[in-house]
Amino acid sequence: MRYLLLLHVDEAGFGRLTPSEQAQGLAAYQAFGEALTRSGALVSSGRLAPSAGAKTVTTKVGRPVVMDGPFAETKEQVGGYFLIEAPDLAAALEWAGRCPAAGHGAVEVRPLVAAPAEAASA
């Protein structure tokens, strides 16, 4: 089953770190990604641009309305993700606990729902 690990972080926090701390942080994420890859669990991953560049689209009176920024006002923003393959939720939670974001933010674990065609062939 596939799980999305959403990394919720204070996106301004990285800039407050010393260059040495930044290098250590980047190395920790690289090591985590490599561990996922070695295990065969990694499907995809990505780092998001700062939320200041985000746009939110809603519909009003049948027409799309585009607003600047993320819709939710929160202290932490989604800074990236890992899409993983895991045998069950317990294994996905174990990976989330190993993710560096768990130490300075939060890792939300969400199971993906199979599309109807995928579910029929499983």
pLDDT of residue 22 exceeding 80, the answer is yes
Q: How far apart are CA 72 and CA 94, in angstroms?
A: 28
Q: How far apart are CA 4 and CA 6, in angstroms?
A: 6
2-121 is classed CATH 3.30.70.1060: yes
Q: Tell me the angle at which helices 19-39 and 89-98 cross, rounded to the nearest 10 degrees.
A: 150
pTM, rounded to two decimals: 0.84
Instruction: State how far the alpha carbon of 94 is from the alpha carbons of 48, 86, 90, 109, in Å.
Output: 23, 10, 6, 10
Percent of the chain with pLDDT over 90: 69
pLDDT digits (tens, 9 = 90+) for 40-93: 999 999 999 888 888 888 899 999 999 887 766 667 788 999 999 999 999 999
